[in-house]
Every structure is written in C-alpha cells, then in structure tokens.
Structure 1
Amino acid sequence: MSWDAQADLIVVGSGVAGLTAALDAAELGLRVVVVTKDAVDAGSTRWAQGGVAVVVGDIAGDTVDAHVADTLEAGGGLCDAAAVASILADGPGAVARLRARGARFDPGADGRLARTREGGHSAFRVVHAGGDATGAEVERALVTAATDRRLPLLTDHVAVDVLRDQSGAVAGLSVLDGSGRPGVLAAPAVLLATGGYGQLYASTTNPSTATGDGIALALRAGVAAADLEFVQFHPTVLYDGPATGRRPLVTEAVRGEGAVLLDRAGRRFMTDVHPLADLAPRDVVAAAITRTLAATGAECVYLDARALDGFAQRFPTVFAACRAAGIDPVREPIPVTPAAHYACGGVVTDLTGRTAVSGLYAAGEVARTGLHGANRLASNSLLEGLVLGSRAARAVATDLVGRDRQGPGPVGSPTLAVAPRGVVQRAMSAAAGIGRDAAGLAAASDIIEAAAVPRAVTDRAGVEDAALTVLAQAVLAVAGSRTESRGCHVRTDFPDRDDRWQRASSVVVLDAAGRPVVRTDALVGAA
C-alpha cells in the first residue's frame, strides 16, 4: 500500500464536473489530486456534440425563466423546481469562467455566440463549439488548464472504495493501478465525478469508461441513489447494422436546424405525436421511434437533413461518421435508432454536491440534484457539470475548515458480486430499455442474480463489472417498483402516468449483504 497524506481533495473522474471542481479547488488553495482510470480525456465529456444550454441575456425574448419552464416540462413532474432555478441561474457565470479558461465557442454572424435549438427548448439557446464538437472543446480547455496549473493527474488508476475513519467521515480512497497493484490515497474529501452507466446496455453513445463506478462507490459508502430507472435513450444514433458498444451520435441539433424524421415509407411520423414534432423532448421522440420500428418491422428510421445548407461544415463530426459508414447525408437520409445515452438519476446530493456522508461529494452525471427529473432537457448536462463542479469545490473548502483529519481504517480487497458484462448487457437491453414490463424486468433480475458470483476485485475489469452488476440490480428493482410510465421510464403494462408517483423518487440503498433495496420517498423539493 502507498499513502499520500498531502491531499485535501481527491477528485475521481476527469470530465467537465471533475476538472472544473479540481481547478476551482486549487484556486481556493486546496491540495488536489485527480484520479482517473483511463487517459485524462477518455470520459463522456468529449463525446457531447450539441452544446451547452444557457441564457446569457443577449437573445431577445429568451429568459432564464423560460429555460426553467422548458426543463420542468421535459422532467415529467419529477424535477426539483428550486434546484432547476438555482442551477440554470448560475449558467451564464459558469460559461463565462469556462471561456476564461480558454474554451472557444462558435461565433455567430453578428459577433455574438452562435446558437442552435434542440428538442424540448422553446428558443435557440444552445451555444456550441466546433460545429458539433462542443464536448471535445470543453474537455480540451479544461485539460489544458489543469496541465498548465500542474494539477496532479493520476491516470490509469481505478477507484475501488471510499475509505472512512472511525467517525464515519471520509478519510481517503483505495485504488488499483493498471497492473492491479493496490494503493491508498489519504484525504478528508472525495468528489465523485465519474459520469453515468451507459455500458449497462449493449448499444450506447457512452464510451467504455461509463460503467457506473461512482454510484457503486457511493452506495457502498452508505449514500442513497435516486431516479436510477430514468435512463435516457438518445433518439438518433447512426445505424449501420446490428452492433454493440459505443455508437456514433447524430446530435439533436441536426433536428434543431431543420432535419426531420421519416419512417421506412418516407412519412413524417412525429407530427402526429407531439406539438413540437421532431423537436419534442428526447423521451417522447425515442419512444415514438421505438413504436414506429415495432409497427413497421424496420430496423431503423431515417433522419432527412438534405435540406440543410452547409451540413459538413455545421456538423463535421456527424458528417465524418456518416461518410465512414458509407452514407452521404447531403444526398440521402441518415439511418438512425435510439441508444442508451444519459443517466437522469444518481447519487443523492444537495445543490452544493454534498452527500449524506461527511467528506463525500458528487457532481455531474453521477449525481442526482433534481435538475433532470424523469427526463433530461437536451444540453443541460454540460451546464450542470460546470455549475456543480464549481459549487462542490467551494463546499469542500468550507467544510474542511477546522475539521480533524484521521487516517482510514483497515483496507483490503473488497468481495463484491460480479456478473459477466455480456450477461448484464444482454439482460438489460432486452428488458430495461424503451418499453418495460414486470415479467421482463423480473426475468432479467433472475438472470443477473444467477450469474453474479461474489469474488475479490483485483483489477479494473473486476471493479467495473461489479459496478455494472449492482447498478443493473438497482435499475431493475426501481423500474419494477414504479408502476407507471413517466419520462424515460416507459412501462408497457402501466402505460399511463399515475399522479400517485408525481412527487415520488425511487430511492436505492444497499442492505447489509450489499444488495439494492428500494424505498419510495418524496425527496425534499420534489415538484
């Protein structure tokens, strides 16, 4: 075991929330180390295409209140209204700080930031970079700032367990390096910024790193998670035949610029589904595509962007992915299907990133702040990472004043239930995607339960597979308990929204045996 008693804060994850927190904490005088299990830029942030949804006050008629209203509408009645208003109000300042750190957003013809519109938004308010490479630019700017500041970046180290002292407060983090050698980092504060759990599914927009590690760490540390059943499926992922793993995203901004969805007969089907048609919220569009595929027997629908001018210049990432698949989006519609995209729920935190365990914080997709509710409004995710990453850094600085620091208790290799990843992904894709029912959820739970074997985790793959196993069990449990359809959670055996669930978030904790247990609470601020 190796020990480092010099850090004030360990940040787990190097995406937008993690690096924002690390940079802000360092500016506040804290000693910070960033731990990431892969390369520093290998997380989900770099793959975000659309942009950052933010009202900076230079577009006539658009207001923060309108952004709040759109977010609440998309969230299906489960957003925390106070959280939504608070986080979105801090958006302009967060984007200004990011630009001060070197991020370059696309300019419009009038010299102001260029804007686009995405599903669920009532205005053109999404700022973007590199056309459709916003996440890559945000990641570049933050990694450059971290490198320039010489922040300690511990790459190729996977977090195994949050360590606690005799009082129950955080005392550090146990890790494994790329060769499986164990180590311990001692610090009185740990911030989880590990992203989501798209790798629960066979087809996803998420990179291979998105295995739910942070939520699993928090659950084992005694913190609750909430809203895990609300897994957002992006409506438009490039379809080039049956495939698994990370699939190329076709950003919603393509529809925001005027592209429309067609079924195999060339008919626009979204006009009959929602007043916003092709720009309806993501859960609505993804569900409509799924119904269309089932009704027509087709493997994909089509996104017709042929009327858009300058497609290759405006959407270079999408254009390149299409051309690599032998598709010319300028001359033919793009074949698309839904794929697992974003976790609307996560570790329960307040609006500063604090959890119920002293010294443990969470920010970004890993956290459940109440911003997203039952369905995330497009491009609110990067904004949340910027705002909550900064807030969490300030919370750590405040909480560490006068706190006694103790070393962690005994450290060993945890024994965790691990099911083979392929078994988990097949079961979740079959039963817990868009359209769920009690029989399928129960069958998937039985499959994963039978395949899960307790064993010591001694490498990155073991840590990831253990996280996916407990997340799968948790998602199946809460999806089975929510007997209604709301937002991203669609029950074919309970197709209607039920007002009894209007204020209810499904909360998960681990029992003494490490199994997920569901309890239904009306969380503070639910609206």
Structure 2
Amino acid sequence: MAESAMFQCDVLIIGSGAAGLSLALQQAKTSRVIVLSKGPLQEGSTYYAQGGIAAVFDEDDSIESHVEDTLTAGAGLCERHVVEYTAAHAKESMNWLIQLGVDFDQETAADGTSKYHLTREGGHSHRRILHAADATGKAVQSTLVRQALAHPNIQVLEHFNAIDLIVHGEGAERRCCGAYIWDNTNRHVHAVSAKFTALCTGGSSKVYQYTSNPDIASGDGIAMAWRAGCRVGNMEFNQFHPTCLFHPKAHNFLLTEALRGEGAYLKRPDGSRFMPSFHPSAELAPRDVVARAIDFEMKRLGADCMYLDISHKPADFIQQHFPTIYNKCLSLGIDITQEPMPVVPAAHYTCGGVVTDLHAQTDLPGLYAIGEVAYTGLHGANRMASNSLLECVVFARAAAAHMAERMHLVECLEHIERWDESQVTDSDEEVIIQHNWHELRLFMWDYVGIVRSDKRLERAARRVELLQQEIHDYYANFRVTNNLLELRNLAQVAQLIIASAQQRKESRGLHYTLDYPEPLPQAKPTILDPAVM
C-alpha cells in the first residue's frame, strides 16, 4: 500500500467533465490546478451528451427568446436573473470552445458562406443548438482533455475519488481548504490542501435503477457539500429523459432529443402516434411532458416500451445527422432508416443541487459548485434541452474570474491531519454493499420516480433511513472502497430527494404527485439546510 501524501495547489477541481476542465483551463493561466477524475478522463456525462449546446447564433433568434423558452420550460421556478445571465454569456462561452478547437457542424448558406448548423430541440422556439453531429459531448470533452493534458499548470489525477471536504475554522471563519481523496489504484487516502475547491462532480441519476448516465453519476459533490454544511435546492426535480434505447445489450444508451427536433415521431406498438393527444407541441413538448406520456402509455397498454420513428426521413439524412445512433442501433440489429427504435424513459439529469450564486460560490467560503452538481436557479422545475453543457462553461468562466480576483488573499493550509485508518479493517462482506445498492435504486425507481404519491414517499423515507444507519455503521468499521463511497453518497442524496419531494405539496415540472396533481398559485424553490434538519 502506498504511503499517504499531502498534495498542495491553488485550485482543487473535483470532477473532469465540461465544468471541471473549463474551470481548469481558465485558472491554469495563473494558478496551479489539480483535477480529480473519478474514472478515465474520457468518462463522464459530458462525453456521452449527444444533442448539443444552446446559444443564440441565428440573426432571427434573440437572447430574450432563449430566456423566455427557458423560463417556460422551468415551470415558474427559474430565477430570471440567472437565466438572463446564462443566455447573455452563451455565445462568448461557445466562441471560447470554438477557439479551443471544438468543431461544431457547419453548413453552406445561400450566399455561399459557411455558418454553424443549428438544430432545434424540445422547448426551443428557434433553431439554436450548436452540435457536432450527434456526439457533441464527445467533441467538447475530447478538446478539453487534449488542452488540459498539454497545460503545464494542470495536474490530473485519474481514478481518484473525493471522500470529504476539509473545513477549517469555526463560525464565520469556517472555510473549505481542500479535500481527502482516495487513490482507487493504490487504495490509499491522501489529503489535498487548496486555496479554492470546486465541485464539478455532475449529478446523481445513479440513485435510480434505470438511468442514461455513466456509472460515476453518484451524487458525490452534493453529498459532500451537504455534510460540510451547505444548503441544497430543488432536489425533487429529477429529469427523466423520455427516450433511452430499450435493448438488453444497450446499457444507458441515450437517443438524443435532436431526433425529435428533426422530425422523429413517438409511436405506440401499433404504429399510431400519441404525443398530439398530450401537448400542442407534440414530440417537441418539454421533457417532463414527453416522459410522463410515454410512462402513461406503457402502463395503460401494459407495454414494455414505446417507439421512436425517424424512418420516414431520407436514409442519407439520418446517417449524416445521427451517425453514432445509426451505427449503434445497426450493431444491435435495428436499422433506423427502415424501422422504429424501442424506447423507455430513464433518469437523466439532476435539476437541483448545491445552492450557489452567479459566481458559482456555495454557502461555504472557498467552495464552488459548477454544472449539474449545482443549483443555480437556471433550470427551475425542468431543464430545457441543451442548457446543461452551456451552464457548465458559463459558470466555470464566472467562477474562474471570481477566484482570480481573490487568489492573493488566501493561503493554503500548511498542515492537514492525515486520514486515520488505524481503527478499521478490510471488509469480508462486500456483498452487503451490493445488496444495499440494489435495494436503494429499486425503491427510488418505484416510489420516487416519474409519478409519486405521499404513501410512496413515506415508504421510501423509511427505507432510506434504515439504509443510512447500516451504511454509517459499515463505513465506521471498514476501509473505504469505491462502491462504499458511492453508496454512502447515493443514500445521502436519496434522502435529500425524498425530503424535498415530501415538502412540495403540488405537481410542477418534473415533480408529479397523485395527491397534489395541480400546481400552487405561487412557485417557490425547495431549499434544505443541514443546520435545521
């Protein structure tokens, strides 16, 4: 086993997706940066994002329109000033990515000049989605990784988990000074002392049995921030992507909303369309409406799935615009130019998270949260398509500017207590973790999923309380492992989701409950504070 070490840097970034690497590249101009990557650098939700990034590039579009579309999708719970800030900084943030080398798709205009090809997705009134075919996230992540690995001021630690934040001082003097981290390869805990720490850990959709997210999406940043005393907001709003491929050999494979933006229809097993019966915008309705419609039709008909059909479009159009999806489906025996794709909803995006301001600051001085881990107020009760990667870049740039102004005012802690493993042993019953893991994800899917009720939430609350006690006892007695750290965080996040859902006595956006099917006259966010819970 490797010896424990203490790392030191100006900025510790926990997470290596669009948010983390965008912040790293901004900060590395003048600061020493450490980036923790829980898995390989090319893993993570950014890499698998297909659709694109929303920004106003079309002269017929406007920032005001982007703002209004976002507010409408958010069902009254977006913070207008945050939406306006994000939309206003979208184009400059995309131009920054373009300057780094992200190759968004272009087309030839009528006058012979080249311009960016913009697609449209659900909730958008204009074509404003920059994309790289149907693998935008891969193009963004690959570019950011290439730039980060080449930068002399960025140290990347792959296969490292963050365990908990290091907080120094009391009362008004409390400050985040780094984190304890676990080396998944050498299986040892180290400490990192940092002037500033940023949580860029993504969401928590792995808390559900069915998810479009990669395995690392276990709510780590939200749980760590909560344990450190930070408030969380709107945790009840979990977005279920309407169209994940339903196939035993297609684990977590997402079918981008851009398919519907380019004319794909949702159909029942008999080939009839159903979305026109649920919303005036039909297939281009907001995601919560589409997900509930699919869920409703599946339950009504007793069907395993619904179908997404774009086969009425020319084959060369499909292959050009959706090469990743076309080839993936073809490898599974589905030719999407000739037949529909079987689809089911799956947990996709965490709209709530750690409460932050416009600088991405949390309640704890020295700690920032960026991207899906954060609650900025941008998404409200339902995230509009392609605003997520946008949020990552816009707020990474905001956080970088805020840190840079204060860097000279802060010093790293010179001494941090080493992690004490003297009272714990290696577990000989790892199977307990697996059992608890499956139980947690199953009851969250059954009781805290697309459609909820008071009774279902009460059942979930009782179960998660028992699980948390068992996990706490296990954590206190055995050395940490990747699965134990993730289970500990998932159970914490599950408890926050349930508590938030129980507080909302209405149906709004992504939170739909049988006991309160109508929205209240006034929309208010759900804010949980560890100091009063």
Which of 525, 528, 532 pairs up with 1:505? Answer: 525
Residue pairs, 1:290-369, within 5 angstroms: 290-309=295-314, 310-369=317-376
Report the Cα distance in structure 2 between the residues aligned to 1:405 and 1:45, rounded to whole angstroms: 31
Unaligned runs of 5+ in 1: 518-527
Q: Say whether 1:86 aligns with 2:93.
A: no
The structural deviation recorded for 1:363 is 0.4
Q: Say whether 1:490 aligns with 2:512.
A: yes
Change (3 A) 1:329 1:52: same
The residue type paired with residue 470 of structure 1 is: Q
Q: Say whether 1:434 aligns with 2:456.
A: no
CA RMSD, Structure 1 to Structure 2 (Å): 1.9
Alpha-carbon deviations, 1:116-172, whole Å to 9, x = none? Answer: 11000001110100x100000000000011112132101111001111222311211
Normalized per residue, the structure richer in helix is: 2
The structural deviation recorded for 1:355 is 0.9
Specify the SS of the correspondent of 2:72.
helix
Change (3 A) 1:149 1:412: closer
The 8 Å contact of residues 467 and 491 in structure 2, kept in 1 or not, is answered as no
The 8 Å contact of residues 108 and 115 in structure 1, kept in 2 or not, is answered as no
Give the structure 1 partner of residue 278 of structure 2: 273
Give the structure 2 partner of residue 9 of structure 1: 11
Report the Cα distance in structure 2 between the residues aligned to 1:119 and 1:36, rounded to whole angstroms: 32
The residue type paired with residue 392 of structure 2 is: G
The 8 Å contact of residues 75 and 376 in structure 1, kept in 2 or not, is answered as yes
Report the Cα distance in structure 1 between the residues aligned to 2:386 and 2:420, rounded to whole angstroms: 39
The 8 Å contact of residues 283 and 488 in structure 1, kept in 2 or not, is answered as yes
Report the Cα distance in structure 1 between the residues aligned to 2:365 and 2:266, rounded to whole angstroms: 48
Alpha-carbon deviations, 1:205-256, whole Å to 9, x = none? Answer: 1000000001011111111110111000001111125x8x942101000000
The residue type paired with residue 136 of structure 1 is: K
Which contiguous aligned blocks of 4+ residues in structure 1 show a shift greater than 6 angstroms?
none
The structural deviation recorded for 1:399 is 2.3
The structural deviation recorded for 1:2 is 1.1
The 8 Å contact of residues 10 and 412 in structure 2, kept in 1 or not, is answered as no
Give the structure 2 partner of residue 50 of structure 1: 51
Report the Cα distance in structure 1 between the residues aligned to 2:512 and 2:455, rounded to whole angstroms: 14
Report the Cα distance in structure 1 between the residues aligned to 2:452 and 2:409, rounded to whole angstroms: 50
The 8 Å contact of residues 423 and 448 in structure 1, kept in 2 or not, is answered as no
Give the structure 1 partner of residue 429 of structure 2: none
Which of 208, 228, 235 pairs up with 1:228? Answer: 235
Report the Cα distance in structure 2 between the residues aligned to 1:65 and 1:199, rounded to whole angstroms: 35
Give the structure 1 partner of residue 382 of structure 2: 375
The residue type paired with residue 172 of structure 1 is: G
The residue type paired with residue 164 of structure 2 is: D
Give the structure 1 partner of residue 426 of structure 2: none
The structural deviation recorded for 1:312 is 1.9
Residue pairs, 1:32-181, within 5 angstroms: 32-56=33-57, 59-110=58-109, 111-129=114-132, 131-150=133-152, 151-166=154-169, 167-178=173-184, 179-181=186-188
Identity of aligned residues (%): 39
Report the Cα distance in structure 1 between the residues aligned to 2:415 and 2:445, rounded to whole angstroms: 39
The 8 Å contact of residues 203 and 246 in structure 1, kept in 2 or not, is answered as no
Specify the SS of the correspondent of 2:92.
helix
Alpha-carbon deviations, 1:414-433, whole Å to 9, x = none? Answer: 99x98821111011011111
Specify the SS of the correspondent of 1:420.
helix
The 8 Å contact of residues 208 and 246 in structure 1, kept in 2 or not, is answered as no
Q: Say whether 1:474 aligns with 2:496.
A: yes
The residue type paired with residue 322 of structure 2 is: F
Report the Cα distance in structure 2 between the residues aligned to 1:330 and 1:405, rounded to whole angstroms: 58
Specify the SS of the correspondent of 2:372.
coil
The 8 Å contact of residues 413 and 458 in structure 1, kept in 2 or not, is answered as no
The 8 Å contact of residues 447 and 457 in structure 2, kept in 1 or not, is answered as yes
The 8 Å contact of residues 172 and 408 in structure 1, kept in 2 or not, is answered as no
The 8 Å contact of residues 229 and 531 in structure 2, kept in 1 or not, is answered as no
Report the Cα distance in structure 2 between the residues aligned to 1:371 and 1:121, rounded to whole angstroms: 15
The residue type paired with residue 293 of structure 2 is: A
Alpha-carbon deviations, 1:179-201, whole Å to 9, x = none? Answer: 32010111121000000011001
Give the structure 2 partner of residue 524 of structure 1: none
The structural deviation recorded for 1:511 is 5.4
Report the Cα distance in structure 1 between the residues aligned to 2:190 and 2:284, rounded to whole angstroms: 48
The residue type paired with residue 304 of structure 1 is: D
Query: What is the TM-score of this pair, normalised by structure 1?
Result: 0.92
Q: Say whether 1:390 aligns with 2:390.
A: no
Which stretch shifts more, 165-174 or 485-494? 165-174
Query: What is the TM-score of this pair, normalised by structure 2?
Result: 0.91
The residue type paired with residue 310 of structure 2 is: A
The structural deviation recorded for 1:397 is 1.3
Report the Cα distance in structure 2 between the residues aligned to 1:286 and 1:495, rounded to whole angstroms: 16
The residue type paired with residue 295 of structure 2 is: T
Specify the SS of the correspondent of 1:496.
coil
The residue type paired with residue 353 of structure 1 is: A
The 8 Å contact of residues 176 and 182 in structure 1, kept in 2 or not, is answered as yes
Report the Cα distance in structure 2 between the residues aligned to 1:49 and 1:91, rounded to whole angstroms: 18
Which stretch shifts more, 406-415 or 182-191? 406-415
The structural deviation recorded for 1:404 is 4.4
Change (3 A) 1:325 1:511: farther
Report the Cα distance in structure 2 between the residues aligned to 1:165 and 1:441, rounded to whole angstroms: 36
Alpha-carbon deviations, 1:310-349, whole Å to 9, x = none? Answer: 2122111111221232211111111111100000011100
Report the Cα distance in structure 1 between the residues aligned to 2:10 and 2:467, rounded to whole angstroms: 40
Report the Cα distance in structure 1 between the residues aligned to 2:492 and 2:15, rounded to whole angstroms: 20
The 8 Å contact of residues 198 and 342 in structure 1, kept in 2 or not, is answered as yes
Specify the SS of the correspondent of 1:388.
helix
The 8 Å contact of residues 126 and 379 in structure 1, kept in 2 or not, is answered as yes
Alpha-carbon deviations, 1:472-493, whole Å to 9, x = none? Answer: 1111111122111111111122
